[in-house]
Amino acid sequence: MTLSAKNHLLFSLILIFSSPLLSAKPDGEQLYTTHCSACHGADGHGGVGVPLALPDFQYGVTNDYLKKSIRLGRPGRIMPAFTQLKDDEVNAIVKYIRSWAPGKPFKYSNKKINGNVAHGKQLYQKNCASCHGSKGEGGKGTGVTFSRPRDLPIIAPALNNPGFLSSAPDLMIKTVLMNGREGTPMLSYLKLGLSEKDIDDVVSYVRSFENNIVATKSNEKLEPIISYESPNSLEKTVESIERAAIGKNFRIIRKQYLNQGLVKAGQENKKQVMIYFCNFNLLNRALAIDPRIGLFLPCRITALEKDGKVLVMASNPLYMSRLFNNEKLTKLCQEMYDVYSDIVEESTF
């Protein structure tokens, strides 16, 4: 190939490979559908997440608040931080969200409000804590999701969340307190009888949550699986797993070969056994925290014979919990990790 032909080929290939990077403007609707609609609803009417299409929400928050919320998420809550999105993609999502309520949202300066924190705390405990939590930790659960009876159309935001505090300027918080949010249980504090000065004090108390932000624990070094070798035969090990699970108040719901359902009946590999078990009380608690917990379900330990050894394996619930960005679920996963570890240890003793 001549040098000129090579250069021509190279130039063409660079164009082909880099074309996605040079492509037209990102499609906000498409990006919203892929990244946001599962929680916030296809038309922004909420579900797991905040109903973004609510007019009072639309006019009460700035574009900067939306962009920062997408970027930072709500650490420890359900909303993840979308760090992988490019700036123009975030802008496109915000533009699309804004298309539901055309008009100009409020604009806020970053002026700090210097209210009386101690007085704000008293007012907060009296008027806000019942929904937002005594320490600003927010409401429990996940909005209207999983259409079991829920008290609220929206879960009260966690005001002590670093993602919220970094996204919301003081004046935005003040405006919400003064006007309330129609379509949600958030009422106007002016109508409730508080003065503007009182509201400033509450804003300063909410801002003071920034001083108590605790870094969330990192699970960086966790292994994805829990695995032990059993000194017993496969049959005995399976029996021991069942016994240990029952001893931990779990019910055995099914025993199945790993490739069962994928091969013809009778041709399964009988040296790979999955034992499924469940504690319905624990399951109910988990679903109330986050219905997406299904990814852990049902509880399972696998016993298998490989290269003359009997191995007992389970997925590590703590490793999996990293996917959920939900502190409450992480606590439950710690409980599950302890149960799995105990069962695996007992059955390989």
Partner 1 sequence: MNIMKILMTLFLFSFIASVQAEGLMMARTKQNFPEAMLKLQETIRSFNYEVSRVQRIDIGLTKSGYATDKYRIVFFGTEKEIALISEKYPHLIPFVPWKIAIFAEQEDTLLISADPMQFADKKHPAADKILLKWKKDIGKFMNILRKSE
3-state secondary structure of 265: coil
Minimum CB–partner distance for residue 69 and partner 1 (Å): 17
Task: Give DSSP secondary structure letters for 28-84.
Answer: HHHHHHHHTHHHH-TTS--SSS--TT-HHHHHHS-HHHHHHHHHH--TTSSPPP-TT
Alpha-carbon distance 155 to 177, whole Å? 17
Looking at the Cβ atoms of 289 and 314, the one nearer to partner 1 is: 314
Minimum CB–partner distance for residue 212 and partner 1 (Å): 27
Minimum CB–partner distance for residue 280 and partner 1 (Å): 4
Give the containing element (helix H, strand E) for 304: strand 299-306
Looking at the Cβ atoms of 122 and 227, the one nearer to partner 1 is: 227
3-state secondary structure of 188: coil
Looking at the Cβ atoms of 106 and 146, the one nearer to partner 1 is: 146
Minimum CB–partner distance for residue 6 and partner 1 (Å): 6
Looking at the Cβ atoms of 15 and 118, the one nearer to partner 1 is: 15
Minimum CB–partner distance for residue 174 and partner 1 (Å): 33
Calculate ∠ Cα 146-149-150, nearest 5°.
Answer: 85
Looking at the Cβ atoms of 127 and 325, the one nearer to partner 1 is: 325
Minimum CB–partner distance for residue 22 and partner 1 (Å): 13
3-state secondary structure of 6: helix
Minimum CB–partner distance for residue 107 and partner 1 (Å): 32
Binding site for partner 1 (CB under 8 A): 6, 9-10, 13-14, 17-18, 20, 33, 37-39, 41-42, 47-48, 80, 84, 144-149, 224-225, 227, 253, 256, 258-263, 269, 272, 276, 278, 280-281, 283-284, 287, 291-292, 294-295, 297-298, 300, 302, 304, 306, 311, 313-315, 320, 322-324
Minimum CB–partner distance for residue 231 and partner 1 (Å): 18
Q: Which of 19, 157, 151 is nearest to 77 (CA)?
A: 157
Q: How many CB atoms lie within 10 A of CB 68?
A: 17
Rounded to whole angstroms, what are the CA distances from 52 to 44, 58, 93? 5, 7, 12
Strand 251-257 with 299-306, pairing = unpaired
Looking at the Cβ atoms of 118 and 297, the one nearer to partner 1 is: 297
Strand order in the sheet with 272-278: 225-230, 309-315, 299-306, 272-278, 251-257
Rounded to whole angstroms, what are the CA distances from 95 to 45, 59, 60, 247, 342? 17, 14, 16, 55, 51
Looking at the Cβ atoms of 63 and 227, the one nearer to partner 1 is: 227
Looking at the Cβ atoms of 118 and 323, the one nearer to partner 1 is: 323
Q: How many CB atoms lie within 10 A of CB 188?
A: 15
Looking at the Cβ atoms of 117 and 313, the one nearer to partner 1 is: 313
Q: Is the dihedral of CA 228, 233, 237, 238 positive or negative?
A: positive
Minimum CB–partner distance for residue 319 and partner 1 (Å): 9
